[in-house]
Structure 1
Amino acid sequence: MRAKARYGDWDARSGSRFCHHRPPRPVYRLACRGSDPHVSASSISIRVNNTQQIVCCDPKTPLLYVLRNDLALNGPKFGCGLGECGACAVLIDGRAVRSCVVPVAAVQSRSVVTLEGLGNGDAPHPVQQAFIDENAAQCGYCLNGMIITVAALALREPHANDDEIKHALEHNLCRCGTHREILAAAKRALMLSKAAHSPDSQSEQPADRKADQGEPNA
């Protein structure tokens, strides 16, 4: 008799994973209140969005749960819980990382940036502005991972071409099919990021104006 497929099992016939049921979310936070004597809780200091935070939890707690449940940072989303869909991505030392599979203890001496840390409605990050300009959203659930991945790409490869953009985003899943708009937003984001970090043209204007005027006549 064939065993019942579990979430995450590989189906050789279809070349995909069974996704009938999500894996249960372990209740790590109960240990902080002393309700589970079998799980040890620790005070862990992490730096998130340029602010030092202290959380009390099992060191093996996924970073995603700490960000959402303890720090109320809901930009990163719970998608697959397996590090495969990209919805939970955050920047760790400037690189896009799946926070659902990273234990919080692993980021104690590192810098974590979430979607909230990139920018806000009054001063959006160039990548966020590009996604707004291109209307690159439908349900919006995947956008956290898309924006974080493009932000990391802008830091690492600001002159990335179309193939490099597609390669960077190939493991970020969008169920709504807005890939064309997302790619357009990614290209615009790189352009805006380069413009934001280029020297201010106004700061060069006095020197240019002086050169145009030349030396005064004797």
Structure 2
Amino acid sequence: MPEPEAPSAALTLDSLAERALALVPAGGGRAVLGIAGSPGAGKSTLAAALARHVNDLQGAAAFAAPLPMDGYHLAESTLRGLGRLDRKGAIDTFDGWGFVSLLSRLREETGHTVYAPSFDRRVEEPIAGEHAVEPETRLVIVEGNYLLADVEPWSRVKGLLDEAWFCETPVSERERRLVARHELGGRSHEAAVDWAHNVDGRNALLIEATAARADLVISGQLPALS
């Protein structure tokens, strides 16, 4: 396996958009780009900014669409029954098979709208069918923690992507963002720090080890992407 391209200060939103657009089949069809990274790395921000920029360049509102993996969180009632609620966000607290199925549909079903779930942080639950990928969407930018994990069913994801990028951000910055996110979700400062360090941090150990499987590593600190 070739080494991923290292983070570069030369990367800009323009250069990333150019690279993403090169993945789109010239004769029609749809490309699926994946952006992986640890919690708080900036994946959602990058995916949304990249989709907007591509749409601006193409002069089309739905040419590109960001799509988070977070909608495949298992419901809290399910996690409670499985005894996994206290480590929500771990790899086995997602419906991995459902996410793999979505990626297959995005590649094969281009003649009609494909609906996908979102995740509402206000209630900490997935919301069915909130994301709509329209037939005219030629580039889907999926983002999530475990896109490059090498265990079933996640090991099937990379083969369903045209390219996979990894968003890399220093631990201190990721933890700062996560603490703020958890506080907004209703946790006390102490509980937010504990979750960011002991739950998100434990998951990050697995996720960071998958960066070597990426085609490109992007610094989440790049000014052009903030």
Which structure has more strand as a fraction of its residues? 2
TM above 0.5: no
Q: TM-score, normalised by structure 2?
A: 0.27
Bigger radius of gyration among the two: 1
Which structure has more helix as a fraction of its residues? 2
